[in-house]
Amino acid sequence: MYQKHYGLSELPFTLTPNTSFYCDLEGHRAALEVLLTALQTGEGFIKVVGEVGTGKTLLCRKLLNELPEKYVTAYIPNPYLTPEELRAQIARELQVDISAATSQQLVTQAIQHELMEINQGGQTVIIVLDEAQALPSDSLEALRLISNLETETRKLLHIVLFGQPELDERLAERAHRQLRQRISFSYHLHAMTVHELARYISHRLHVAGYKGTPIFSGQVVSMLHQASRGIPRLANVLCHKVLLLGYGEGVHPITPRHVKMAVEDTEDATLPKPKWPWFVLGAVAVTAALLGLAYKLGWLEGVVA
């Protein structure tokens, strides 16, 4: 592709949530601090919500990589599971043998026994669910019941939910009020500002091995921010396409024309339509009025004829 053209060692704007490209944006850093603090001091559920493409999965993987060894994690990337499937998945993640369990009660007991063993060894279990808005209602309730497992002095596990805003809508339902009351910490991820996008682009290019002069001008970054609305995933798509366009034309600096072409080729990206400056519109109106007056006075009769 365009790696050689730009002197890159790898593609900088892939959609895979690769933690080596993690950029310490203010929102992500604050969310990570909330998560780590909550796990150290809180109990119950911890929730991180963000729009599609705002980097929840990357943050989730960053958290799993940053956790100290005292934590044992059960990571569930696709929670569209029945209560039975959810318990079985948690058991597998914790390496609990449930082959002899003939009922869901026995499965729960096996999980609880393993949690007690881990707790006695000085560790804490964290269940991390990505795309948590996809959890069926009965599975949400099963998750709440699992969170009840505890000793006389402390909870045996923490549960971290990463989800889209639909998760908040689900939890607002009366049926889930008990679970909602158990959320001890929450954080809402926002889109990047234009300045954060500039740093984000520079960071990813640097990680990918770029060492030359800036490829993206301030105007180009501003247009990319408008088109992507500051959403990292959409920004990645557009940046990848403009680099492809630059490579195809054999040029290095990315131009506004490249951005416009990339936006036209991207489903969810938009640029505001250009507006005529007010003074241009005013001049057009004045000219039209003068022409109308001239015609009424007969000054243009010879010209029209």
Compute how many other C-beta atoms are within 10 angstroms of the C-beta atom of residue 200.
Answer: 22
Structure tokens at 13: 């704007």
Side-chain-side CA neighbours of 126 within 13 Å: the count stands at 28
11 belongs to a structural domain: no
Q: 100 lies in which domain range?
A: 26-189
In a shared domain, residues 146 and 242: no
In a shared domain, residues 45 and 107: yes
5 belongs to a structural domain: no
126 belongs to a structural domain: yes
Helix pair 218-228, 232-249: axis angle to 10 deg: 130
Residue located via tokens 């247009």: 223
In a shared domain, residues 78 and 203: no
In a shared domain, residues 208 and 290: no
In a shared domain, residues 174 and 212: no
In a shared domain, residues 43 and 179: yes
**Quick one: pLDDT at residue 183?**
93
Structure tokens at 254: 């990315």
> Which parts of the chain have pLDDT scores under 70?
151-153, 274-305
Q: How far is CA 8 from the centre of its chain?
A: 25
The model's pTM:
0.84
Within the chain, strands assigned E span 45-50, 71-76, 124-129, 157-163, 183-189
286 belongs to a structural domain: yes
- Interval 161-184: pLDDT, tens: 999 999 999 999 999 999 999 999
- The domain total for the chain is 3
**Quick one: pLDDT at residue 303?**
45
In a shared domain, residues 92 and 181: yes
Task: Show which of 153, 168, 189 is a domain's final residue.
Answer: 189
**Quick one: pLDDT at residue 155?**
78
- Interval 2-13: pLDDT, tens: 999 999 999 999
